[in-house]
Structure 1
Amino acid sequence: MPSSLAGKVIFITGAASGIGRSTAIKLHGLGAVLVLTDINEPGLAETLALCGGGGGGTPTPSSHSTFALDVSDPEAVDRVVAAAAARHGRLDHVFNCAGINPTAAALTATSVAYFDRLVGANLKGVFNVTKATAPHVAAPGGSYVNVSSISGWNPTAGTAVYCATKFAVVGFSKCMALELGPAGVRVNVVAPGYIDTPTNAGIARGTPEARLAMEQGNALGRMGTPADVADVVAFLMSDGARYMNGSVVQVDGMLKT
């Protein structure tokens, strides 16, 4: 059976590594046309190569495209979205994956610069991309998938700013589900747990003991993989999730309490 995502144009932020890259590879395999964006240009080029290199030759609306993008910069987001929409003619789905993982620190040791950096990427970035892409997303039938975290409802000491951004993504997404739903555009959230990605290295693999604690604290006895999340993202964009709107899907293997 052909994939319901075949030929769909999908805008992805944070595509240079981890969950963003794995999702791009998954969607490429399903026949989607990808707009890959990230602040990390070398990583972005690697992702494009893993997704068939964009088709080679002169770019066409049916070949993948890449754009260097800092999602915290609204003017840059507007330029990239306009260029992507002009090249591909429309956007069908948006995956807001760009973000920064936390560095554990007490609130009293947290700088304003750190606050601005996390809020800029994790929350303002979702706002910027959603606002810019909304006029171009196919309606009905389009969708957004935004990345929160298990920290979006399960606060932990030392990660106040990160938790605040991830709580906010859930609230923002549910409001957008109400605003865009009448046009037939869905907005859902994935909330990953401990996922084995490069950006989690400092948290999950700082010491063997830390990694073991994460594995033993999970009902499935392991950390998640980017592919575990990518499969859920692809489902949420597909026709199989056509009546899911405003949902928050945990992808965490079930943490032990």
Structure 2
Amino acid sequence: MDLDLSGRCFLVTGASKGLGFATARALVDEGANVVVSSSSEDNTAAAVAALGDNARGLAADLTDPGTPRRLIDYAREQFGRLDGLFVSHGGPPAGVASELDDDTLRRGLEIAAIAPIRIAREVAAELGEGGSIVVLTSTSGAQPLTGLASSNVARPATQGFVKDLANEIGSRGVRINALLPGTFETERALELAAKNPAAREKSINAAALRRVGDPAELGAVAAFLLSPKASYVTGAAWTVDGGRRAGM
């Protein structure tokens, strides 16, 4: 399917690796231009090199309040336009609810709620009709995950914001959706698996497809949601988890 993305420009944060990079790859393969960002200059440069001529990169810390404006201005400087945003970011620290102290809670909210909400809000204000945003959250936004208390707190907050903002910007023809990934073969997933291999095995066995996802599979869904082909889709949370969630 041609997603009608040729010539459009998207910001992709957390894009040097994992699901962010997979989404940037899917967008570029559909003919879009991308500005990729991560907190590491070296990793950002490597991502740009791998993506080719349709990519530019700007290293930036998503938790820095000045980052959204820097990225918006850079995209317009490089490609002359801005059509959308994919928000990926680092995951909040693992831990159980009884040990969720104030500092850990604040850090988790900063990473998984405040920073993505900030950039989504600021980019939404810049987009015209046909603009689209996808915010990566987690299945913990719909169903709490054992040992990820910080995520269980932050993700529903982000998804509540996505729904609220969708209602505000829809009249301008701008869309926003949340994307809830399950277990994918990323560095983050491997890091969590090393700490709790039994939880990873349980997650795989709970999935209807009985396997871990390929990041490209999520990238394809993200590219579709960002595209004009999904023009009547907004304010929704889309689960891509191989059928792991107990509910629909």
Same fold by TM-score greater than 0.5: yes
Cα distance, 1:159 vs structure 2: 2.3
Aligned: 1:215 with 2:215:
no
Distance 1:157 1:230 in 2: 26
Cα distance, 1:156 vs structure 2: 3.1
Q: Deviations over 1:52-82 (max 9, x none)?
A: 1xx3xxxxxxx42211111111123323322
Question: CA separation of 1:207/1:14 partners in 2, compared to 1, >3 Å: closer, same or farther?
Answer: same
Question: CA separation of 1:133/1:85 partners in 2, compared to 1, >3 Å: closer, same or farther?
Answer: farther
Aligned: 1:226 with 2:215:
yes
Question: CA separation of 1:252/1:71 partners in 2, compared to 1, >3 Å: closer, same or farther?
Answer: same
Q: Deviations over 1:119-149 (max 9, x none)?
A: 1121111122123222332x21110001121
Aligned: 1:7 with 2:7:
yes
Aligned: 1:38 with 2:12:
no
In the alignment, which residue of structure 2 is the partner of 1:60?
none
Matched-pair contact (CA < 8 Å) for 1:12–1:20 = yes
Aligned: 1:75 with 2:71:
no
SS of match in other structure, 1:250: strand
Cα distance, 1:256 vs structure 2: 6.4
Q: What 5-or-longer segments of structure 1 have no aligned partner?
A: 56-62
Q: What 5-or-longer segments of structure 2 have no aligned partner?
A: none
Cα distance, 1:2 vs structure 2: 4.9
Matched-pair contact (CA < 8 Å) for 2:185–2:214 = yes
Q: Deviations over 1:181-232 (max 9, x none)?
A: 0000011111111122101112234465443322222110101121111010
Matched-pair contact (CA < 8 Å) for 2:92–2:111 = no
Matched-pair identity in %:
32
Letter of the structure 1 residue corresponding to residue 103 of structure 2: A
Q: Which 10-residue stretch deviates more, 139-148 or 71-80? A: 71-80
Distance 1:208 1:163 in 2: 20
Structure 1 consecutive aligned stretches of length 4 or more whose deviation exceeds 6 Å: none
SS of match in other structure, 1:156: coil
TM-score by length of 1: 0.88
Question: CA separation of 1:205/1:221 partners in 2, compared to 1, >3 Å: closer, same or farther?
Answer: farther
Q: Match for 1:122 among 104, 112, 117?
A: 112
Question: CA separation of 1:98/1:179 partners in 2, compared to 1, >3 Å: closer, same or farther?
Answer: same
Aligned: 1:164 with 2:166:
no
